[in-house]
Structure formats: structure tokens, C-alpha cells
Amino acid sequence: MLDPEYRVPDHQYRNLLKAILTNGTFVQTQQGVRAYTLMAPRPLRYEFSNGFPMITERNLNPKTSERLPVTIWQQAIGEIIGFINGARTQDELESYGCYWWKDWVTPEKCAKRELEPGDLGPGSYGAAFHDFPTIYGTFNQVEKVIQQIREQPQLRTHFISPWIPQYTVRLKGTVQKVVVAPCHGWMHIRILNGELHFGLFQRSADVVVGVPSNMVQYAALAMMFAQVLGYPLRAFYHSFSDAHIYEDQVEAVQTMLNREPRSFPTMTLRNGFTNIFDIRREHFTLTHYNPHPGIKAIPVAI
């Protein structure tokens, strides 16, 4: 990895914001807020030699408090670690350091899906990654992909999916068994010339609020895979189907676009892990992060 002073500021995220505002279709959404929507924008490619992909257009490392003892990037990493360990309730996710699901797992929303309050559902990320249902019982996708890479690293089939269709489909006479159909989490890992490449496909992308956290958590997950498998980490690729900016987020977007990009920070993961399920958010350390100030109260569509 390049020393911080030699890193080049990255423009890909801001170019994505511009492309959506310029070329997106302005449509009504399921959440009741209109959004500029762009299908299949240019994928983002981040070489880890240029730093850890974490936006600087706003601060993802604000001060913590007694009410919220973790910052945005720590919650993002805590969430993905919870998911690969099978977490599917608000209480379980909070034990990993992620607190932002409470508005999606209210008693009213869960009752609509015949779930207990606080339960994301059997169609959620943790259930899919760790306990995917099969006729033979549950299947731990992360564990098996790691085993497959160790045995046959040359394969193109190191793939993980968050989608359990029988729980996500919406049809008359059926009950959707997930509070939010998975928006991200289609992962493709490839070993090329002895280096690990990590691809993420995102079905639905709130580019203002969600995507910056998704970048952090999956880039961190790529670091986790690389360490336990013993490969140097080359690049993180982030592609989208439906990328959108909600109407009430445009002011925040304009603020970010008026700020110059800064170089990416350094993220380190404590050495010595051979089991990916032993890693926790506390094992990550962020340094050399110099973002612009945070932007308070960016609306989130629920």
C-alpha cells in the first residue's frame, strides 16, 4: 500500500453521484419518496494500493457518545460481521456493534410479515449467508466458499448470495418473510496470479446513505477473506443495478459535490486470524482519515 502522501484522491463516488443526477429517471418509489434512478451505472474499482475505499466527501468517523458508542464505519463493519455469523435480530446485531436496524424491525413492520419484533426474518442477510435453507438442512455459504478456495483456488465459482427467493417474493396469498429484501451481498471472489479480487453486486443502492457504508463493510470483508486465506488483497469491485438518490437527499449531494476529494485512509486488521468467524469490528483500526465535515440528518427512506 502506498504511503498516505502518495495516494491519489479518488473521483469515482462523486462521478457516480453526478451520473445519477444527470442521467437518472425521476420516479416514485416503494418508500413514498421520489428518486433519481440510474440503471447499471459504471462499476467502481478500488485498488487497495491506493488506500482503503472510504469516502471523504463527508465524515464516516464522527465522535461517539454514550448513546451511540460506535461510529459509522464501525457499525458498517459490525453489521457485516454479524451477518456472516448468522445474526438476524436487532439484539444480535447490536452485540456486534450495529444499531441502525431499529426503524425496520418495529412491532408493526414485523407483525406484517408474521415475525417477532426485532427479527429481520429468515430471508435476511444473516440467514442467507450463514444458514441458507436446503433440503439437507442449513448451508453456511461463507464457510464453504472459504473451504472451496483453499481446495481449488482457480475456480470461478467462489460466489455467495443473500437471496432466498421463497422468502422475498411478493405475491397474493403469500407473506414476505423479510423486513427488507436484501439490497446488497452478491459476492464473487477470484484468485488471480496469487492475489485476491473481491467483487460486490448491489441490487438496490441508496448511493447517498447506504453505499458509503456498503463500500466500507465489504472492503473490510475482503480484508478478512484475504487474511484467513493467506492471499494479498488486490482490488474491490462495486457494481450496481438500481442506483438512486432520493429527492430529499439532493441538497446533501450538492454539498458533497462542492467539496474537493481527498485521499483514502488506511484500514488495518489485526494479524493472526485463520478463522473468519473469530474476527470482530474491534480488530480493525482506521488511520490517515481526513474527511470533510459530516452532514447532519441526511434523510433515509424506510
Entry pTM: 0.97
Whole-number Cα distances in Å, 27 to 194, 212, 250, 262: 45, 23, 14, 32
Question: Would 22 be classed as within a structural domain?
Answer: yes
Average pLDDT by consecutive 10-residue portion of the chain (302 residues)? Answer: 90 98 97 96 98 98 87 98 98 97 97 97 98 97 98 98 97 96 98 98 98 98 98 98 98 98 97 98 98 95 88
User: What is the residue whose three cell numbers read 488511520?
Assistant: 287
Question: Would 56 be classed as within a structural domain?
Answer: yes
Question: Would 66 be classed as within a structural domain?
Answer: yes
Three-class SS of 149-173? HHHCCCCCCCEECCCCHHHHCCCCC
> Which pLDDT tens digit goes with each residue over 232-258?
999 999 999 999 999 999 999 999 999
Domain count, the chain: 1
Catalytic residue among 19, 21, 183, 300: 183
pLDDT at site 68: 84
pLDDT at site 66: 78
pLDDT at site 236: 98
Contact 63, 50 (CB under 8 A): no
Alpha helices per DSSP H over the chain: 12-23, 72-84, 90-95, 107-112, 125-131, 141-151, 165-168, 210-229, 250-257
Query: What domain range is 203 assigned to?
Result: 4-269
**Is residue 98 among the annotated active site residues?**
no
What CATH number has the domain bearing residue 22? 3.30.572.10
Total residue length of the chain: 302
CB atoms < 10 A from the CB of 197, how many?
A: 19
